[in-house]
Copies of this chain bind each other. A is one copy, B any other.
Amino acid sequence: MVLDNLCRGRAEYLDPVRETSPGRIHFSNVDLSDRDATTAAFAAAAQIGVIDEVWHLAANSDIPAGVMDAGVDLRDTFMTTFSLLECMKAHRVGVLHFASSSAIYGDLGNVPLHEAIGPLLPISNYGAMKLASEALIAAAAESFLKQANLFRFPNVVGAPATHGVILDFINKLKVDADHLDVLGDGTQQKAYLHVSDLVDAMMHIRRAAQLPKIFPINIGPVDDGVTVRFIAHAVTARVRPKADIRFGIGNKGWIGDVPKFYYSVERLRQAGWTPSRNSADAVCHAIDQIATQEGFAAGGSHG
């Protein structure tokens, strides 16, 4: 059973799965922040079969929107977690996989961000509501959950894209084919994972034996990431090779954005998983996919 309010996704994205597993996918258009609607959808799912586990991926993904209006992350990121846990408790579902975020770490400077670091002082409401969700899940693990994996996502790229720096740059270059204005000086550096590797990593952990009952784990590439400057150049090369890139001042793009950080994926490596693409490869592959999605002819140099 797939529950989604389709604010970003589309029901037809499930078509390939419907074809490979006919009759096994059920879709329900539900806003998971709506407690009553979620309760009803859970009851309907329980009619179809036993609910063994829940994958909770619903959240606001527009960080600046949540900084402007704290109600966005409250509703879409936190209350979705609250509603789902209430349903899982009522239906005695013991296994939860949760899409958490590196944003829970806030800005700790140049120290490697490993799973046991602190203090956890997120600098965006997005990060705050992801940490709040983790906290609620931890309490549920003490009370009724059998297993809870807290997948701390890095910056993820890939298609279909609905937002993010790559799509922003491509959209800017649609409007002005000659110039690309970049927020900040371009030295912001982040690690990126391709969405296909992200899914692969989560499935790897799901299969792992004898994990701690509540298991926070960073998911990311093993490199230190790429700069905004790199992305600007790669996007321009793919869609408007002659455009002029103009950088701004400072290395923070917007309130809530964390500049350069070092994301430790030692725990994931010890669990036996490594990504198929590093940050640069992931970004270039995503640029080609998103450029194609946005109507720029396929087959760029990074395809």
Chain B nearest CB from A75 CB (Å) reads 11
Work out how many copies of this chain go into the complex: 2
Chain B nearest CB from A286 CB (Å) reads 28
Q: Are A122 and B135 in contact (CB under 8 A)?
A: yes
Contacts of A138 in B (CB 8 A): 106, 120-123, 128
Q: Are B121 and A118 in contact (CB under 8 A)?
A: no
Contacts of A123 in B (CB 8 A): 138-139, 142
Q: Are A125 and B139 in contact (CB under 8 A)?
A: yes
Docked CA distance A81–B81 (Å): 18
Contacts of A86 in B (CB 8 A): 70
Interface size on A, residues (CB 8 A): 38
Chain B residue nearest in CB terms to A258: B142
Q: Are A128 and B121 in contact (CB under 8 A)?
A: no
Chain B residue nearest in CB terms to A35: B71
Contacts of A249 in B (CB 8 A): none
Chain B residue nearest in CB terms to A127: B139
Of residues 117 to 159 in A, which have CB atoms within 8 Å of B's CB atoms? 117-125, 127-129, 131-132, 134-136, 138-143
Chain B residue nearest in CB terms to A79: B74
Q: Are A216 and B139 in contact (CB under 8 A)?
A: no
Which residues of A pack against B, CB within 8 Å? 67, 70, 74, 78, 82, 85-86, 104, 106, 115-125, 127-129, 131-132, 134-136, 138-143, 214, 216, 255-256
Between A and B, 24 residue pairs with Cβ closer than 8 Å are A67-B143, A70-B85, A115-B118, A117-B118, A118-B119, A119-B216, A120-B131, A121-B214, A122-B135, A122-B139, A124-B142, A125-B136, A125-B139, A127-B135, A127-B139, A128-B132, A128-B135, A128-B138, A128-B139, A129-B135, A131-B132, A132-B132, A132-B136, A139-B256
